[in-house]
Amino acid sequence: MKSGIGFGILLVTMLLGSCSGQNQNKNNMKSLKNGEKFPYTNNLIHETSPYLLQHAHNPVDWYPWGKEAFEKAEKENKLVLVSIGYSACHWCHVMEHESFEDTAVARIMNENFICIKVDREQRPDVDHQYMEAVQLLTGRGGWPLNCFTLPNGKPVWGGTYFPRNQWISVLKQLSELYKKDPQKMQEQAEMLSEGIRKNNLVQVPKEKTVFKEQQMKDAVKAWGKHFDKKWGGAMGSPKFPMPSTYLFLMNQYFHTHKSDLLSYVTLSLDKMAMGGIYDQIGGGFARYSTDSKWKVPHFEKMLYDNAQLLSVYSKAYKLTHNKLYKRVVYETLDFLKRDLQNSKGAFYASLDADSDGKEGAFYVWKKQELDELLGKEAPLFEEYYSVTPNGNWENGENILYVRQPLSLLAKKMGITKQEADKQLSSAREILLKAREKRVHPSTDTKVLTSWNAMTITGLLDAYGAFGDTVFLNSALETAQYLVKNRMNEEGKLWRSRKNKTEFIPAFLDDYAFLSGAFIHLYRFTFDEKWLQLAQKLTRYATDHFYNKQAGFYNYSELKRESIIQPKYEITDNVIPSSNAEMASVLYNLGSYFDNKEYMHKAEIMASAVYPDVIKNLPFFSKWGLLVNRFIFPEREVVITGKKALEKNRILSMTYLPYIIAGSETPSNLPLLQDRYVKGKTLIYVCENKTCNLPVDAVKQALQQLGITPLKTN
């Protein structure tokens, strides 16, 4: 994302710079007492989003996103405030308590602005546009996101979190400037809109792109300068888990055998799993670490992080057989099913960072409490998890994290590592039961299609690594829910919905990630209905989102009425870009159905972003995975016969970034045609659809692939 557009007008510099909210005053937070009735109700009261409903009793006269608010702004000639956040966001809550619940602040907002509240998870298209505007203006972004627009929706200025007094100052200065010099605001809006438009231009190459292995190696080398060689992840703070970067680096290691890449990945995954960012008692990862050592988490837990990290740790296990990774995967599954899964098999969006009025209160411990709960097992537990009498965080409280090998601590305690591990496991169970009695963080109960699709993929990757049907059955349950509740016969999707009349139409990420999840389901079940469903979704997405002139898919449907400018989501972040995922889907479907049009689209998309891939690989890592498929020989592994699924389960325990196809009966799928031999189960190893002689043992197939599987511990 480009930043610092340098408009050179007074508006950008006269207002106070926005804050990320990580080091601001937490005081001046107030709430209604128990039993006290809400004195205010605004237009959000009829919404379904938990985040919007949290603001339904603010004295601010909030509107949901829609025509009504902008028509009112036009009629009254007022600026619009578009305030964007999400239910689990700690600093969104802080700003609400400090400013949006304050009647004096609300009065200024209501008199001078039309105020719109947006759930960024429900309307990512709105969030994308105004986040880009704020990043262009200030060089940074985050949530809460507060962007001021003209009555036509064009952004003029914005920031993230503002303390109360600073917020009042911003409100007064902006409203005064709009009254005195609206023309300057108009000029600002036009320049900013043009900046956003230029930022989204995509250049499709006129000549065929040659993807080069050495260029990718050079890109990885340049990226390596930013590796934190001590703590893993990127250097500095805050530290975010970036799942697609680790998936790419494992893929690059597989193809190039550069052991330092795998060492960096395992260092990162080890430190994350031992850090405070990982819930050492209940499993699952927080959204990010505020420090450079993965110690202090921003305590909210998001479905999309944990879904993708299931894939990362499962694939890393295939390459290392590290037992820690297996434990992380199983504990993360426990967390997802315990805290985020509904009775129908779908998963909720997130858990709040706050509980009982305080950030992280659900997760931290005082030493005295641990002593009372654990008794004689407390000393081992407390030393292993870095607990101190005065607390390792704030207010005498401890975040649980690991800084020493268990084998060394066990030796110090005069017990075996196995005994120490058993004691720790017992202590974690005791603390989990005790923690369940605490006030829980609130749950954002939105069921988002794309995030659930990522979860299906993560569960399937875990099934591949460990062969445990608990992962496969959970993935199937979620997939069946989405087919029944989020998809119609034409392949149209909904992002979220409450009933038959209240719903949010899907965006490109919903189509891309669900198509990818369905392809993954075929990969592990050999049930061709999932490929057919993926193809149906892809056809719908191509008909309604694909811009032929740009060569990319629009984030929203092309014919959807909106004041939002068209956006082609291309840059990979914590969540890979929807176009990168869509290009991967096209490549896979092109392989399975021998569809040259799909393959051509995927290659054109990869070619267009290739200059960015080799210049800024960490933010194009999902694209990097696709580029590697064009650089390195593409293999297909085809399994046919009665025991096809059994052999596939064994094969899947080895890291194989290839197309896998199979069937227990004859099939007309191009990769499977004329491969079935009655009474035999055969494995064909192919390259660009040219196959070696079939074999009947997984070990022989791996030998043809040149792979020696790790021995299971």
- Calpha distance 250→29 (Å, rounded): 45
CATH number of the domain where residue 84 is located: 3.40.30.10
Q: What is the pLDDT of residue 499?
A: 63
pLDDT-derived band at 141, boundaries 50, 70, 90: confident
- Start-to-end CA span in the chain (Å): 44
206 part of a folded domain? no
Same domain, 639 and 624: no
Q: Which residue has the higher pLDDT, 342 or 499?
A: 342
Q: What is the pLDDT of residue 568?
A: 87
Angstrom CA distances, 343 to 282, 347, 458, 477, 695, stand at 20, 9, 20, 11, 44
Same domain, 616 and 474: yes
Work out the burial of residue 493: count CB atoms within 10 Å of its CB; fewer than 13 is exposed, 13-18 middle, 19 or more buried.
buried
Phi, psi torsion values for 712, nearest 5 degrees: -75, 135
Same domain, 525 and 622: yes
pLDDT-derived band at 34, boundaries 50, 70, 90: very low
Backbone φ/ψ region at 438: left (φ over 0), alpha (ψ -120 to 50), beta:
beta
Kindly tell me if the per-residue pLDDT of 250 is higher than 90: yes
Kindly tell me if the per-residue pLDDT of 16 is higher than 90: no
Sign of CA dihedral 653, 528, 518, 243: positive
Same domain, 249 and 127: no
- Calpha distance 696→685 (Å, rounded): 11
* pTM score of the predicted model: 0.91
204 part of a folded domain? no
Same domain, 682 and 538: no
Final residue belonging to a domain, choices 164, 199, 234: 199
pLDDT-derived band at 202, boundaries 50, 70, 90: confident
317 part of a folded domain? yes
Phi, psi torsion values for 687, nearest 5 degrees: -135, 120
Same domain, 699 and 557: no
712 part of a folded domain? no
Final residue belonging to a domain, choices 404, 437, 470: 437
Same domain, 35 and 83: yes
Ranges 28-32, 34-38, 134-138: which has the least confidence = 28-32
Same domain, 538 and 646: no
208 part of a folded domain? no
CATH number of the domain where residue 239 is located: 1.50.10.10
pLDDT > 70 fraction of the chain, expressed in percent and rounded: 93
Q: What is the pLDDT of residue 311?
A: 98
- Calpha distance 485→494 (Å, rounded): 9
pLDDT digits (tens, 9 = 90+) for 527-538: 999 999 999 999
Final residue belonging to a domain, choices 590, 609, 631: 631
Same domain, 613 and 643: no
- Domain count along the chain: 4
Ranges 478-482, 517-521, 670-674: which has the least confidence = 670-674
Q: What is the pLDDT of residue 37?
A: 62
Same domain, 380 and 349: no
Domain that holds residue 391: 363-437
pLDDT-derived band at 562, boundaries 50, 70, 90: low
Q: For residue 646, which of 698, 699, 702 has the smallest C-alpha distance?
A: 698
Kindly tell me if the per-residue pLDDT of 659 is higher than 90: yes
Same domain, 161 and 31: yes
Q: What is the pLDDT of residue 561?
A: 58
711 part of a folded domain? no
505 part of a folded domain? yes
Cβ proximity of 149 and 189 under 8 Å: yes
Cβ proximity of 162 and 95 under 8 Å: yes
Same domain, 173 and 274: no
pLDDT digits (tens, 9 = 90+) for 292-316: 999 999 999 999 999 999 999 999 9
Mean pLDDT of 339-346: 96
Kindly tell me if the per-residue pLDDT of 318 is higher than 70: yes
Helix (H) or strand (E) run with residue 364 in it: none
Tokens of residue 524, six digits? 């592990």
89 part of a folded domain? yes
Mean pLDDT of 536-556: 94
Kindly tell me if the per-residue pLDDT of 31 is higher than 50: no
pLDDT > 90 fraction of the chain, expressed in percent and rounded: 81
pLDDT-derived band at 392, boundaries 50, 70, 90: very high
Tokens of residue 16, six digits? 């106070």
Q: What is the pLDDT of residue 285?
A: 98
> Which neighbouring-strand residues pair with 496?
504
